[in-house]
Chains A and B, each alone.
Chain A
Amino acid sequence: MKKGLMSLALLLLPLFAQADLLLVTSAQSPVTELTREQAQQLFLGRGLSREGVTLMAVDLPSGDAARDAFYQKLTGRNAQQMNAYWARMIFTGRGNPPAEAGSTQELQRRLRNQPDLVGYMRADQAPAGLRVLLTLY
């Protein structure tokens, strides 16, 4: 029975894996992993330094399905709620939202070239040469 369940899970894994989101950085980065709380600190503009590096978050363009899914999984907030959150930060001078990459391809290129950047993408879009810091299921 257990074996049967396991093989079913293995069969279904690729389907679920598509919905997984990866937090990724350059393979040259000294940072090897982040916790969920650290990822929240970084992507909600509260600042995060690891291994002597001040990390910088990069977003996918607004409206991108992976972006909405990322914030939903990481913070429980949808796009509108994230807008309200950033309005509080911006209009009190406490920070601006992460810079936006134009596309997943541009994000991949920027991550490879700048080791202090951290971005996110769908698991099936993460190319070799990037390091996975956290998987959001």
Chain B
Amino acid sequence: MSKTDSRVTCSLGWPSESSHVPRSAYLDVDLFDIEMAEVFQGPSWILLAHESELPLPGDFKAARLGSVPVIVVRASDGGIRVLVNACAHRGARVVHEDVGNVGPSLHLRCIYHAWTYDLDGRLLSASLEEDFPSDFARSDYGLPKARVEVHSGMIFASLSDETPSLSEYLGGIQEGLERSLGPGELMFLGSQKVVFECNWKIYAENIYDGYHTVALHKAFRMLQMKAAGGTISAPDYERSGHVWNEYTTLPVENRDLLKDGSLLESRTKPDNANRIINIFPVGILSDQLDTLSLRFVTPLSVDRTQVDFAVFAKSGETSDIVAHRVAQGSNLFGPEGFISLEDATALSRVQMSASSGGDSIVLKGTPKAAPPYRIVDEAAIRHFYGAYRRLLGL
């Protein structure tokens, strides 16, 4: 679908003020289809996995680029491929599991007519080929490959030839990603997968919104757990939609609320630096206390968004540190976490009443026209929608 089509199809009446978002944008089914085609299958790099999830040749995980099912797989040369997960013959799903290994043959075989591919997507064989038309050429029937680039172990894919290099796309947030993910290897500790009952943009906005943290997350107040300071920056905001939250924490003041306060300790960071980065459109690095995680976000429908939290340790860490990361990743910052659980409730309530009409409004910090903003501001939401509207021509 071309951009001209999207302008015609999408009659949301997008307001000219950049601090307003029409609530219908969270409900419009046609707009959702356009977003899948032009944002998630368009000139964007979509965060799909981390290399440590797929250590061995043949290791794979299923994912989606917009509405296109793909598999992320480690090939025999050690490189990562992202292949469309639909047989070139009749379109059947080739790999059915969510995660696994394709087996020692390093082949992908469709169950329906036994069409068999290598991990580069090349068709190796099909059953009873002798009865095919004489001009049949296997080379015409591979699994389409997405472009793949890796940064700091993060695996990105794009279905568009127009997407600039990953380095150019990430721009100024690369430094933050590198600071958190470091030069060394990571150890994958597991995933938590939950559906948020909201539009993917409501989920994304939450990362640009420092305002809600003081109001919604009661644990911070009850614990007297304060940030020593921080900023929300949006490098390259004129052309990109990424956001970089950076803050330092102070020790918890109220030590009486919890019987086991060790959950809140920071044991790996002498500088107490925490950061949350959203890679436009929606791929998240969260590095808070000792919880180092990536969030892979898959829009399922206008009102449902799957978020897979993947949590990591750094290679070479002691078993005590790894155990602490596992406990904190499970109980503090996960989807069921002591601090983070409230987000799911608040975001679903935005979705529930989106049919009220009118606009959602961004106010706090907006007297300042350009980043950086304070860590308690919501003004950076404007830059997410700036990039979104430029991309869709809205």
The judgment on whether A and B are partners is: no
